[in-house]
Amino acid sequence: MISKTWNFIKTKFLTKKFLIFGLIGVINTGIHMGVYWVAFNPLKLGPFFSNTIAFIVASVFSYFANAILTFKPKNKSSMQFTAVMAVFLMRLIISGLLTTGFDYIIQNWIGIDYGTYNWTTIIAPFFASALLIPIAYFALEYVFKATDHQKQIQE
């Protein structure tokens, strides 16, 4: 069992492709956190809208960075962009729910006051993004392959 688990980790996660995806994910998370902080604190948009705006900005960056550096499809199309954005939309919903849940836990169970410590508002979206990175990798790998293949069939 341990051998199979290690082999899975080694072949799926300890690859150059996943490491590049992870680096883009770290940058993407930084973009997400920065936009979230600005939207939540100075703009006072609340956790859901702050996360939505941050997620959209980070997703557009992620699409282009991953198309160029990670998945490198031979064919790019509006269908591919739409499919990737659909994956991101699913991530948005899940990320929003996770962020809202983490915000509740941080403020009510742990007792951190966002008003006193503004920097702590980035904790919830950070954890939400971190949980979704491996899931997003497999989903995007599938979408980029499927849409690249579809374009080749149509030609």
Q: How confident is the model over 61-71, as pLDDT tens digits?
A: 999 999 999 99
Q: Find the domain containing 72 and state its range.
A: 2-154
The total domain count for the chain is 1
Per-residue confidence (pLDDT) for residue 150, from 0 to 100:
57
d(CA 72, CA 145): 10
What is the CA angle 111-112-114, rounded to 5? 135
- DSSP string for residues in 103-141: HHIIIIII---TTT-GGGGGHHHHHHHHHHHHHHHHHHH
Does this model's pTM top 0.75? My answer is no
Taking the C-alpha atoms of residue 92 and residue 125, their distance in angstroms, rounded to an integer, is: 11
**Cα–Cα distance measured from residue 70 to residue 63, given in angstroms and rounded to the nearest whole number:** 10
Cα 52 to Cα 98: distance, rounded to the nearest angstrom = 12
Give percent above pLDDT 70 in the chain.
95
120: closest CA among 132, 106, 131?
Answer: 106
**The one-letter amino acid at 72:** K
- Yes or no: say if 51 and 104 are a contact pair by the CB < 8 Å rule: no
Extract the tokens encoding 27.
Answer: 């940058």
Q: 3-7, 21-25, 111-115, 138-142: which has the minimum mean pLDDT?
A: 3-7
Q: Are 122 and 33 in contact (CB under 8 A)?
A: yes
